[in-house]
Amino acid sequence: MKPLPSFQPHDADQIAAFLRDRSLAGAPVYVRGGGSKVAFGRPPREDETALDMAGLSGITLYEPDELVLTARAGTKLSDIAAVVAEHGQCLAFEPPEFGTLFEGGTSTLGGAVASGWSGPRRVKAGAVRDHVLGALAVGGDGQIFKSGGRVVKNVTGFDLPKLLTGSHGTLAVMTDITIKVLPAPEATRTLVVLGLDDGAAIRLLCDLLGNPYEVSGAAHLPRAVAARSAIGVIARSGVSATLIRLEGFGPSVMDRFKGLEAKCGQGAEHLVLDAEECAVLWREVRDVAPLIGPGPIMWRLSLPASDAVGTVNAIVKAIEAEAFYDWGGALVWLTLPQSGSADGHAALIRGLLPSGHATLMRGPTDIRARAAIFQPQAPALAALHQRVKAAFDPHFILGAGRMAVEA
């Protein structure tokens, strides 16, 4: 596919003028940040113009004592993480670095908020939308608006930043985003229980997540997936690995970990990882690609515990597939072969899905062009989605069809 024509603005006014012109002409626009998610979702159309946000970068406000940071949408997440780390703080929602998963690009703040994807710590710290305090944005018709503010308890007007989070650039173009940052954990420990089957592992993780251990990460790696880990003792074990992470103040972590080990470690082979090993392991879980293998088709399923293992077993029985569970977010990651599928196996997977939803995360361009990337919506919800889209983008020029909402 030939490169799209592009426009690279340097402020909100330039974006507003550009979108007004494109909206009047009914000409579609594709919003692009660092390019790390270009290979996700419906491929850009040949008649689209790319709105390149690389020219809007930099931290414009950071108040460590107030735990608040504002940055322009094109600012690299790695730059933000480095700045806040100097003050012992972090992006607590652990935004994934999916450049490896999608084979290129860099993750930006705008891309992280627009995708709404969070890492394993969301079970304790919350998802992306829980950390977005405010945004300056431009609607598809070129109207500039601001919502939210610089304090957590801002209740003025509609909480539009929450609505924009996860919209994949289809409602408005965010130019400046304010987020809350949190103190980085003082201590981290991970308990690895070896050899559990999928059902036993999910039952254990659900039990622990319902107890007062304050688990900040929970995952299960079946044997083939565990063998890919960069943590040697896990990769060489030859069995599955069930992961439980605790974080926080040192004495608190040590006390909670003793209780966790006493509950899980008795009679079960297990490992205890230090902070350095924990950092590597949970980056693997967060970023998915180091663990899941090179399969061309990748799905993410969101399922309740009662359905997760049975659904995976049914899919594996129907077609060669491999899965692992990021259970702090009730997510199952699946890779499948490309052969024998014109729709990325969408009909098979959604036909076997008793509840929850399934998203096609990776696939060849031709499959992504015709497959339903997101779970099809019920008619009432689709109608509501259509009205929201029309309010922000009256001529439906932003990411047309990216989330199956057309004019």
For the residues 48-64, what does the mean pLDDT come to? 95
Instruction: Report helix, strand or coil for 170.
Output: coil
Q: Which amino acid is at 215?
A: V
Residue 403 tokens read as: 């989330």
Lowest mean pLDDT among 99-103, 122-126, 208-212, 278-282: 99-103
Instruction: For residue 260, list its beta bridge partners.
Output: none
Q: Which amino acid is at 401?
A: G
Instruction: Report helix, strand or coil for 8.
Output: coil
For the residues 77-84, what does the mean pLDDT come to? 96
pLDDT per position as a tens digit, 218-261: 999 999 999 999 999 999 999 999 999 999 999 999 999 999 99
Per-residue model confidence (pLDDT) at position 155: 47
- Cα–Cα dist 109/91, whole Å: 11
Of 403, 312, 298, 303, nearest to 361 by C-alpha is: 298
Inform me whether the pLDDT recorded for 304 exceeds 50. Answer: yes
Per-chain mean pLDDT for the chain: 91
Burial pattern 72-90, b for ≥16 Cβ within 10 A else e, equals: bbbbbbebbeebbeeeebb
Long-range contact pairs involving 253-256 (C-beta distance under 8 Å, separation at least 24): 253/185, 253/186, 253/187, 253/188, 253/189, 254/187, 254/189, 256/213, 256/214
Report residue 28 CA to chain centroid gap.
25
Structural domains in the chain plus CATH codes: 1-184+377-407 (3.30.465.10), 187-289 (3.30.70.2190), 294-370 (3.30.70.260)
Handedness of CA 119, 122, 124, 126 (dihedral sign): positive
Lowest mean pLDDT among 40-44, 271-275, 390-394: 40-44
- 249, 187 in Cβ contact below 8 A? yes
- Please work out, in degrees rounded to the nearest 5, the angle formed at the alpha carbon of residue 210 by the alpha carbons of 206 and 212: 135
pLDDT per position as a tens digit, 354-379: 999 999 999 888 999 888 899 988 89
Q: Tokens 């998610």, residue?
A: 37
pLDDT-derived band of residue 159, with 50, 70 and 90 as boundaries?
A: confident
Inform me whether the pLDDT recorded for 157 exceeds 50. Answer: yes
Lowest mean pLDDT among 42-51, 81-90, 275-284: 42-51
